[in-house]
Structure 1
C-alpha cells in the first residue's frame, strides 16, 4: 500500500450516466468505478465494507479483488447480511464474509486489527451521531498505509435524501479522522449528490 500524504481536491472522477435516482445505500453511486479508478482497489486486496447495506459496494469489491482477495461485509442488521450472502451465491462470489457488528462499539467487529487494505463507509455517517467511534473502529481494522473511503450526502442532495439536520459536514469528518492517524489524501465528488473523502492510515 502507498503511504502518500499529499491531499488533492479534484473532479476528475465523473459520476456515470447509469446511476439510478432511487434513495438507498448506493443506487446513486457507481461502485465499480469508484473502487477501481478512484480508490485503486485491485486483485488480492482485503476490503471491509463497514455498514454494507444493500451490498452494491461489497459485491463490486469482491469482483475486483478476485478469488485471492477478501471482502468483509459488516452490518448491524442480520437480514441485510443474509441478503448479501444470497447475492454472493447468485453471482458466484465466494470471497465475501459477512460480519454482524455495531460499528458504534469500538472493538466489536470480529475482524483482526490492522487487517484491511481498504475500509469503506458509504452512506453510514449520516445515520449516526457517533462519528468518533465509527472512525476509531475503521482505523483499528486498517493496516498502516491502508485507505479509508468515506462517502456521504452532500449539500446538493435531492428532495428524497435525508433531512439537512442529518447531513454530515466533511470538514468535521476530516478533523475527527485526523485524531486517529487518518490523514486526508483526496477529496472528490463521488456522485451527483455525494462527496467523497479518502484517508490514509499513517500510524
Structure 2
C-alpha cells in the first residue's frame, strides 16, 4: 500500500505542477502539453513516454487496489467472529471512508481522462488546444463539473491525509513525537495538493483564466 501509494503521489505532485502552468498563459501551457508527448525523443517515438507512464500508473493503481483488498481480507480473517460488544474507538472520517473514497477517486479519474485526455466528454475536445479544453471543461455553465471535481479532490485529500500518515507509520515512523509530526505533515501535504489542483477550475469559473 505504501510503495504503490508513493508512486501515485509522486505523479499527483508532478501533474499538479504541470496544471499550474496554465497561469503562465495559453501559449506556454499548450507548449508544455505538447512537450509531454515528445519527452524521450528521439530515443523514444513520440508519445511513448506517456504510454510508459500510463502503464506504470495503471500497475500502481491495480497494485494499490490489490493491496487494499488483501489487507481487508486479512482484517476479516483475523476476527472471523463479530465482537459481542465493540468498544468505541476514535477513528477519523478519512479512516472510516478510505475504501469508498478510493472508489470515488477511481470513478473521477475515469471521467477526468475522458474529459481532458481523450476529449470524449469535453465540449471542445481539441488535442491541438489543451488550454482551450481546460477552459471549456470548467466553463461557468458547466458548474456541475467543477462541483464534482471539487468533491472528488476533497475526497482525495482525506484519502491522502490518512494514506500519507499510514505510509509514514508503515515505513518506520513509530515514536510518539514522530506520530504527531507525521499527522501534521500528512495534513499539510493533503491541503497543499488539493489546493493546488483546485486553483485551476476556480480560476476558470471565476474568469481569472479564460
Task: Verify same fold: TM over 0.5.
Answer: no
Structure 1 or 2: more helix by fraction: 2
Structure richer in strand, relative to its length: 1
Give the number of the structure whose alpha-carbon radius of gyration is greater.
2
TM-score of the pair, normalised by structure 1: 0.26
